[in-house]
């Protein structure tokens, strides 16, 4: 599997910090490390599953933070106490349709199905965590369920470049079903 480049690692770390600030607001001082731990684990494993599926389909993918959306999310975070809900989309998974081989670059033809499956891999992991911890009683499992469900919902927004648009282009009904699967744990918590 392709290793994580320095720029990608920086993007991931900044995105994890931004998501931590977003989810921990307004309880930053008391629970920052707890939120940071949950988000870092969920986010890193989500990216790992994207990369694993991309490798299986003989291509690569990289994470890129989207600064305008992070800034927008941090601004909207200030209104979370007023409206009770906010929005944060930290970055995208860029799927690169080539791989390096012994003879140089090899172009891989990716169909909407392939792009959807790569996008779904990370969201599937977030939903797997949410449903697994839904079965466990306690405050921390409840927090893990909420964070992973919200990460899945944010990623399912069909905005170009985000996972939701790739799944939406692949299958609209599947996209609706996954949105429903992501909302259910929030209702059950």
Mind listing the pLDDT tens digit for each residue in 27-59?
A: 777 788 999 999 999 999 999 999 999 989 888
pTM here? Answer: 0.86
- Give the SS3 label for residue 78: coil
Mean pLDDT of 89-106: 78
CA distance 64 to 59: 16
pLDDT at 76 over 80: yes
pLDDT of residue 101: 67
Determine the structural domain holding residue 20 and report its residue range: 6-188
CA distance 87 to 6: 28
Q: How confident is the model at residue 172 (pLDDT cuts 50, 70, 90)?
A: very high
Cα angle value 174/132/38 (rounded, 5°): 100
Mean pLDDT of 90-109: 79
Q: How confident is the model at residue 128 (pLDDT cuts 50, 70, 90)?
A: very high
CA distance 48 to 55: 10
Q: What is the DSSP string of 18-55?
A: HHHHHHHTT-HHHHHHHHHHHHHHHHHHHHHHHHHHHH
Mean pLDDT of 47-74: 89
> What burial class does residue 125 get, using C-beta atoms within 10 Å of its C-beta: 0-12 exposed, 13-18 middle, 19+ buried?
buried
pLDDT of residue 77: 82
Q: Could you tell me if residue 1 is inside a domain?
A: no
pLDDT of residue 130: 95
Q: For all residues of the chain together, what is the average pLDDT?
A: 87
The percent of residues above 70 in pLDDT, for the chain, comes to: 95
Domain count, the chain: 1
Q: Could you tell me if residue 92 is inside a domain?
A: yes
Q: How confident is the model at residue 162 (pLDDT cuts 50, 70, 90)?
A: confident
Q: Could you tell me if residue 182 is inside a domain?
A: yes
pLDDT at 154 over 80: yes
Q: Tokens standing for 128? A: 């797997």
Q: Tokens standing for 94? A: 């860029």
Higher pLDDT: 172 or 25? It is: 172
């Amino acid at each position: 599997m392709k290793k994580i480049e320095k720029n990608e690692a920086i993007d991931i770390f900044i995105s994890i910090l931004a998501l931590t600030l977003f989810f921990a607001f307004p309880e930053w001082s008391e629970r920052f490390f707890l939120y940071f731990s949950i988000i870092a684990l969920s986010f890193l494993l989500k990216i790992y599953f994207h990369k694993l599926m991309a490798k299986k389909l003989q291509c690569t993918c990289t994470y890129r933070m989207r600064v305008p959306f992070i800034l927008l999310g941090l601004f909207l975070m200030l209104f979370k106490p007023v409206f009770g809900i906010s929005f944060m989309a930290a970055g995208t998974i860029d799927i690169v349709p080539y791989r390096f081989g012994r003879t140089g670059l090899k172009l891989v033809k990716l169909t909407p199905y392939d792009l959807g499956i790569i996008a779904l891999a990370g969201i599937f992991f977030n939903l797997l965590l949410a449903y697994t911890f839904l079965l466990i009683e306690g405050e921390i499992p409840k927090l893990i369920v909420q964070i992973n469900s919200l990460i899945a919902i944010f990623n399912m927004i069909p905005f170009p470049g985000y996972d939701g648009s790739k799944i939406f282009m692949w299958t609209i009904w599947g996209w609706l079903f996954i949105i429903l699967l992501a909302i259910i744990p929030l209702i059950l918590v």
